[in-house]
Structure 1
Amino acid sequence: MPVQPMSMQPGPSASHWEKPTLNCRTMFVLGSMNLIDCINANLLTPYVDRLVSTFLEKSPQSPEVAHVVSLLIGVYPLVEAFVSPFWGMFADYAGRRPCLLVGLGGSVIAPVVFGLGQSFPVLFAARAIDAFFCGNRGVTLTYLGEIVDASNEAKGFAILGGCFSMGLVIGPVLGGSLVFPADWAPRIFGGTIFDSHPFLLPNLTYAIFAALVWLIGALFLEETLPREQRCVRKRRAESPLSQGSPSSATCQNESAEASVRSRRFKILAIFPTFPKATLQVMLAYWSMSGCVAAMRQLLILVLSFGREVDGFDFGPHQLGMLQNIGAVALILCQSFVYAPLTKKLGFLATYLIGFVLLNLSFSFLPIIGLFADPGRYGLLRWIPLGAAMFCFTGAAGLTFPTAFAFINRAAAGPNRGAINGYTAAGGALSRGCFPPLAAVLLGQCSRLGGFGRYVPFYAATVVMGLGLAISWPGMRKMEKNSIGAQQAQQASDEQDQRRSRQEPLMSEADPPGEST
């Protein structure tokens, strides 16, 4: 019998290591990490114009203010897009738990530095460092994908997607409510550091919450990737399989056949080659993530148009109320709709339902805009707007968790962390690029008249539709693989049940050779 190579032998602790399973404690930690990462990315949005105008001592409508605002917001997704693949590689190399804790620890410090900043170099540096440590968002998908099975996959990714979507709501509310605290609570904050640093309180509040989550994660988060399964860098001369090929990352527990197959992934390469179906699933998430972010920003801009151009003239308070309506829809969808729907119809059908509702939500905005006059319609104008926001956010609660589940299936294997890292990078890049492009398109189309302001919504629908069309073969493949795996698991369970029923009968029978 051939001797197993040292690189393929299990480590000394392999027999004692038990893979963690999904439980309430682990789901709370992962959900909290995903929530605060999304809050952190959106915390700046509601007050960035006041921040920049205060530093420049110019009006928020100044072109210079708008330029700096775009740069300060854009630096976060750009840095996150650049570092996310490397966080994924680091998670495959060092393990999931240290990667999550290091990233979360950095995101505790950077916002406080941002809140204390008194110059643009400090603000940009703090924002970039913050994005660097939050670039490990994809690792939470990797971690969850390794502890779920067919029985709890829908529930796990529904909660994670719900936390992500809730962060889109809580971040702007937290950032817009806690700035300039000395103005709305002078007895408490007047003459304190929060008076001289009016943007510190929302960042400090976030940092305290992140520190608590870090402490909980350090105490209760378990490692899902044992040491003997982590990827290490090998020199070309160490393995005859790597002769004549670029240096790549291989995992110690891979067989010779798996090592050859893993060359396609090139974990430590800058531009790895993923299978076609995997790229198609990733594209579905990228297009949806960017288009949803663009639609959210477009809605805020369009509803902020004044009455002189027949707009709703909504301020931060009204926009916050609309976000709260969306939050209610998201909670209801994740609590009562998503898991039963995926169980009855499957993940692909659930994604399609969410996709259709997502794009229908704002397609009637030109009609809703006819009720913009508050003097004539009063509270009645909130009914169609609230219904559109309710439908939009609820549909996002169907599509995002399903996209995460498909990515988890596509990322199965030794390169799960790298695939999720590149997925997060593409999502961050699309969220950073699509909203500014949509804003530029809005500015151009607004010159066409009242209907022109709604053209960017339909443009986003077209882009999302193209993304779905290109991604459709890969998503169907993942759905078929999932159905096949579930059928195989069901057949195995039925076989185990038959065996368990036969064993008592055999034990009652007389032993062979024994006479009565």
Structure 2
Amino acid sequence: MSRPQETTPLLSGQPRQADTEDAPPPRTKATPLPRKQLFVLCLMRMTEPISFTVIFPFVNAMLRANLPSSVPSSRLGYYAGLVESAFAFVQFLTIFFWARLSDRIGRKPVLLIGLFGSFLSVNAFGFARTFPQMVLARSIAGLMNGNIAILKSVLAEVTDETNQARAFSLIPLCFAVGSIVGNGLGGWLVGVWGGEGEWLENHPFWLPCGVASAFNLCAIITGTLFLKETLPKKTNKVPEQGAEVVEEERPPSIRSLLAAKSIRRILGTQLGLNFLNACHAALLPLFCYTAIEQGGLSFTSADIGTVLALNGGFTIFIQLIAFPTLERRLGGPARVYVRVTAALPFLWLCLPLAHQLAINHSKAWPMAALVLAIVLKGISNMSIVSSNLLVNNSAPTRSSLATLNSVSQMAGCLSRTIGPSFSTSLFAFSTSRGVLGGQLVWLVMWAISAGTWIMTMKVRAPEKASWRVKARQEETAQRGTEARPQA
């Protein structure tokens, strides 16, 4: 007779082995991350901000070249907002379709379609010669690309509670890297091709767009070769004798998900944060480009590219070093969520300060104020990855991941649709009419930031996803069934 295995812990402070089904096994260290899959996903994620931000340093100059001369420079903000909102608005209309499609045909093919859409869009934008063409080119990416919601679902499916914070911190990290590359390309490659009669001289805005599209092509090839499908098989197989028949779990409806108060609160605060981020992304280059006399800083395209690259660089440091440590020490994303959003109201005070410094001082003084704003923005950016974790932890079932992430991304798209047009139009209105000395836009942004921070204090969400526990139970039951001797 074999001796039974010893299950009593040797250390007096340790609990006995858990007997309850819903308790995960104790872990002494974090589960290793699937590095190859994360590399492919990060490359895919990085291409979208490259294609999205490459236009920011030169979009106002491109509008000036493509709009009639009768349009005054003080009204460029209205047109810039429409161009920057086109992608998000069309994506808002189509992202739920792509998320549902990924539940049927798999995550991988939908991700590749989205990358191809970005490839077409950014090239078309570089060739645009009129304002309608610019809007249409941006709309192509929104029509074909719902990748961010699907990427979040894939990340949730390849991680667990011990390593998800590190994995999800890569999403804003990749966005920051992509923003640096995109803004650098847009700021430094416009107009570098000289010589009379040269083809690129007749298409001065295509070169940065063409280089940006090369990243999409690289991601398509890499994803095709190396990305593994994470969607569970949904084919109905004939069970073996004695095996249990497992019914296919259908994705829940949006209405059933929004019935939960905790999910509504998370999505509500995420809506406010995405709106503020969209406003900041549109306002910062416009504010830097606008003349000092009209409420801006009179920066060149190269200066704007440098500022935006610094903004992305600091975000890399925050997401790579600060967030995983802070999340671990504070004991979960919900606690991080409240603390980092407190930096947002102070961020919007730095921009009018930079303008005041630009009036009577050299460029170094307003640049110092912008650096302070970049630091505050980097701190507040940790709220994005915190909200992503909270969304995934709130998913009731695994089949609800893509649906819930698509709803979250639809809220983000709605924010990016309204935010750029709202903020740039408000900036143009404030500066052209001199409302509150041209400071109305910053006062409104400050008020929205303060309100969003207060809303985050009411967020309540589980630190562990219930669908992960259920998945572990099913895997354990399946292993037990396979281990039974056959009659």
Partner of 1:198: helix, strand, or coil? coil
Identify the residue that residue 347 of structure 2 maps to in structure 1.
361
TM-score normalized with structure 1 length: 0.73
How far apart are the structure 2 equivalents of 1:171 and 1:121?
A: 23
How far apart are the structure 2 equivalents of 1:402 and 1:200?
A: 37
How far apart are the structure 2 equivalents of 1:122 and 1:297?
A: 20
How far apart are the structure 1 equivalents of 2:221 and 2:349?
A: 45
How far apart are the structure 2 equivalents of 1:64 and 1:370?
A: 22
1:304-319 maps to which residues of 2 (within 5 A)?
304-308=289-293, 312-319=297-304
How far apart are the structure 1 equivalents of 2:367 and 2:56?
A: 24
Instruction: Give the drift of 1:314.
Output: 2.5
> Which of 32, 48, 55 is 1:44 aligned to?
55
Compared CA separation, residues 342 and 452, structure 1 to 2 (3 A): farther
Gaps of 5+ in 1: 1-19, 231-251, 490-516
Contact 1:162–1:401 (CA<8 Å) still a contact in 2? no
Moved more, 85-94 or 463-472: 463-472
Instruction: Give the drift of 1:82.
Output: 0.7
> Which of 211, 215, 218 is 2:217 aligned to?
211
Compared CA separation, residues 165 and 289, structure 1 to 2 (3 A): farther
Q: Which amino acid aligns with 1:75?
A: A
1:267-306 maps to which residues of 2 (within 5 A)?
273-306=258-291
Moved more, 414-423 or 323-332: 323-332
Identify the residue that residue 138 of structure 1 maps to in structure 2.
149
Give a deviation string over 1:46-91, Cα, whole Å, max 9, x none.
Answer: 3333334434452663688666544433321110111111111111
Compared CA separation, residues 168 and 195, structure 1 to 2 (3 A): same
How far apart are the structure 2 equivalents of 1:447 and 1:198?
A: 30
Compared CA separation, residues 470 and 356, structure 1 to 2 (3 A): closer
Compared CA separation, residues 135 and 314, structure 1 to 2 (3 A): same
Instruction: Give the drift of 1:417.
Output: 0.9
Give a deviation string over 1:127-173, Cα, whole Å, max 9, x none.
Answer: 32222122332111111111111221111111111112343443333
Compared CA separation, residues 224 and 317, structure 1 to 2 (3 A): same
> Which of 72, 83, 87 is 1:76 aligned to?
87
Gaps of 5+ in 2: 1-30, 237-244, 473-487
> Which of 182, 193, 200 is 1:185 aligned to?
193
* 1:341 pairs with 2:326: yes
How far apart are the structure 1 equivalents of 2:136 and 2:354?
A: 42
Contact 1:84–1:135 (CA<8 Å) still a contact in 2? yes
1:69-468 maps to which residues of 2 (within 5 A)?
69-118=80-129, 122-180=133-191, 184-186=192-194, 191-228=197-234, 253-254=246-247, 265-266=252-253, 273-308=258-293, 312-345=297-330, 346-373=332-359, 376=361, 379-392=364-377, 394-411=378-395, 412-446=397-431, 452-468=437-453
Give a deviation string over 1:440-481, Cα, whole Å, max 9, x none.
Answer: 3334444785964444334234324434544544x32234x5
How far apart are the structure 1 equivalents of 2:140 and 2:298?
A: 36
Instruction: Give the drift of 1:103.
Output: 1.4
How far apart are the structure 2 equivalents of 1:363 and 1:117?
A: 36
How far apart are the structure 2 equivalents of 1:122 and 1:447?
A: 27
Instruction: Give the drift of 1:186.
Output: 1.9
TM-score normalized with structure 2 length: 0.77
Contact 1:351–1:402 (CA<8 Å) still a contact in 2? yes
Contact 2:107–2:154 (CA<8 Å) still a contact in 1? yes
How far apart are the structure 2 equivalents of 1:381 and 1:48?
A: 22
Name the % identity.
23
Compared CA separation, residues 417 and 96, structure 1 to 2 (3 A): same
Contact 1:53–1:59 (CA<8 Å) still a contact in 2? no
Contact 1:291–1:461 (CA<8 Å) still a contact in 2? no
Compared CA separation, residues 420 and 129, structure 1 to 2 (3 A): same
Count of aligned residue pairs for this structure pair? 430
How far apart are the structure 2 equivalents of 1:25 and 1:439?
A: 41
Give a deviation string over 1:216-247, Cα, whole Å, max 9, x none.
Answer: 111111111122279xxxxxxxxxxxxxxxxx
Q: Which amino acid aligns with 2:221?
A: L
Contact 1:228–1:253 (CA<8 Å) still a contact in 2? no
Contact 1:107–1:130 (CA<8 Å) still a contact in 2? yes
Moved more, 336-345 or 362-371: 362-371
Give a deviation string over 1:365-409, Cα, whole Å, max 9, x none.
Answer: 4555443246x45634433331222222x2143111111111221
Instruction: Give the drift of 1:284.
Output: 1.8
Give a deviation string over 1:304-323, Cα, whole Å, max 9, x none.
Answer: 45344675333323222222
Contact 1:325–1:390 (CA<8 Å) still a contact in 2? no
Compared CA separation, residues 452 and 89, structure 1 to 2 (3 A): farther
Instruction: Give the drift of 1:43.
Output: 2.6
Give a deviation string over 1:187-214, Cα, whole Å, max 9, x none.
Answer: 5xx5443233222212211121111111
Moved more, 26-35 or 138-147: 26-35
Compared CA separation, residues 229 and 452, structure 1 to 2 (3 A): farther
How far apart are the structure 2 equivalents of 1:317 and 1:326?
A: 14
Moved more, 152-161 or 351-360: 351-360
Compared CA separation, residues 451 and 29, structure 1 to 2 (3 A): farther
